[in-house]
Chains A and B, each alone.
Chain A
């Protein structure tokens, strides 16, 4: 098994644990995305996998991409015509999106277990997961617009699938952060869990949903989780 520097990948009892591992805030650096892409490309072929959970090492899920590093690398590698329209995007941007899509289209349940901060592309990653459980005081958001940017890894489209257009517009345009409890109230997070039980619950949810997983049965799996706690 290959080793990664910025993430940890282990399979316990058929449940894959993907840990974002660049403490303190587990920022999604360039190297992280390289390793993340390597891992996701191998995921669909892992036959022993029944479910998967994603979380951050330590207090935080992840603070998202490093905007300075990312925008510099994009501007060095993109081509734009004289009308300001992009004609070539760096290949790694497409690879990153592809990884997100792989997570979203896994045939096994994928659960994001969110605590601490979960911002920008980290929140986009969580939006691609089939389930999001979070601590009540986690800090979530898509702050891209406050930097003159927009969520660029499919987060807007995922948000449109999960929630109403008005909510999605609110989150994307304002770019303000909100706590896990609020996220639950407007339907972006599925369950609020105490920090001590976060990983337990994530594993249990993955176990419950792993039996003949169908995304359209999502509510039923969550009810089963409620009954088991």
Chain B
């Protein structure tokens, strides 16, 4: 178990678990909510999957506005801090193994931005999700706008952002904001089993290529992404052929 910036890290076999700290609401006081170098160190220990979750009842109620605004005045300034936060979420988004956000309770603003950097969002039937930024004349500042659009489509994303409405789990699932809704109190257990099911028996090499293929569908045109798939398949097939001969 490790601590840094109110973050707790645990590892269960090949799965890393990142707990957002600061209960009960798990407010995020620093956009770079875990130091990137620290996270990198933790992930280098043969991790093949990551769960991000909250400590206690809630995922995270988002940024602590008071602290945030204070940072706007102090050095090195909010702008630099937001850039660091953005870099962190992009890093998580680009990890070459599956990342699951396990969401119970509230998941607002910055918390939802973190959840959107994961590949899969699992919440329980009592979860509440929202981007309330608009109510404070703000916008999501950690890439949440773009990730929301990618996840829910342009129209839904605009409605969520411009309304600032709070969505229950059922509605969030209909809007594709979350992928799985599970009974209350079973969220973490489900998430853990889910991610273990994805990676069990798979080598890092295969996981990495499949993740790359999934990311390619978001960033390349389809033809190019398919050609990359052919290449990666050939790499794996060469390994397969070698393995077979060595038996």
A residues within 8 Å of B by Cβ?
Answer: 67-68, 70-72, 74-75, 78, 80, 84-86, 89-90, 93-94, 97, 101, 145-157, 160-161, 164-166, 168-170, 172-174
Contacts and interface: CB of A to CB of B under 8 A. Distances in A.
B74 interface: no
Which of B119, B179, B242 has the most chain A CB atoms closer than 10 A to its own CB? B179
Given A160-B214, A173-B202, A71 B244 contact: yes
A186 B189 CA distance: 23
Interface stretch (B11-19, B25-33, B141-149, B217-225): B217-225
A190 B233 CA distance: 28
Interface string B204-232: 01110110011011000011011101111
Contacts of B197: 174
Contacts of A157: 213, 216-217, 222, 225-226, 229
Most buried by A among B198, B206, B236, B237: B237
Which residue of B202, B236, B243 has the most chain A CB atoms within 10 A of its CB atom? B236
A150 B234 contact: no
B82 interface: no
Contacts of A86: 231-232, 234-235, 238
A148 B198 contact: no
B230 A94 contact: yes
A153 B233 CA distance: 8
Nearest to A146: B201
Contacts of B214: 156, 160, 165, 168-169, 172
Range, interface on chain B: 35 or more
A162 to B, nearest CB: 12
Nearest to B122: A166
15 contacts: A71-B244, A75-B241, A84-B235, A89-B234, A94-B230, A148-B239, A148-B240, A149-B233, A150-B236, A156-B213, A165-B120, A165-B214, A173-B199, A173-B202, A173-B207
A40 to B, nearest CB: 15
Given A152-B229, A173-B198, A173-B210, A67 B240 contact: yes
A152 B198 CA distance: 19
B98 A173 contact: yes
Given A152-B233, A153-B229, A160 B241 contact: no
B6 interface: no
Nearest to A84: B235
B180 interface: yes
Given A152-B234, A157-B222, A168-B214, A147 B240 contact: yes
B229 A93 contact: no
Contacts of B203: 148
B94 to A, nearest CB: 15
A62 to B, nearest CB: 18
B22 interface: no
A195 B210 CA distance: 34
A148 B243 contact: yes
Contacts of A85: 235
**3 A-B pairs with the lowest CB-CB distances in the bound complex, closest first:** A152-B233, A166-B179, A75-B241
A75 B229 contact: no
A136 B235 CA distance: 35
Contacts of B240: 67, 71, 147-149
Given A71-B244, A173-B210, A150 B232 contact: yes
Contacts of B230: 89, 93-94, 97, 152-153
A70 B241 CA distance: 9
Contacts of B35: none
A78 B241 CA distance: 12
A143 B156 CA distance: 34
Contacts of A97: 226-227, 230
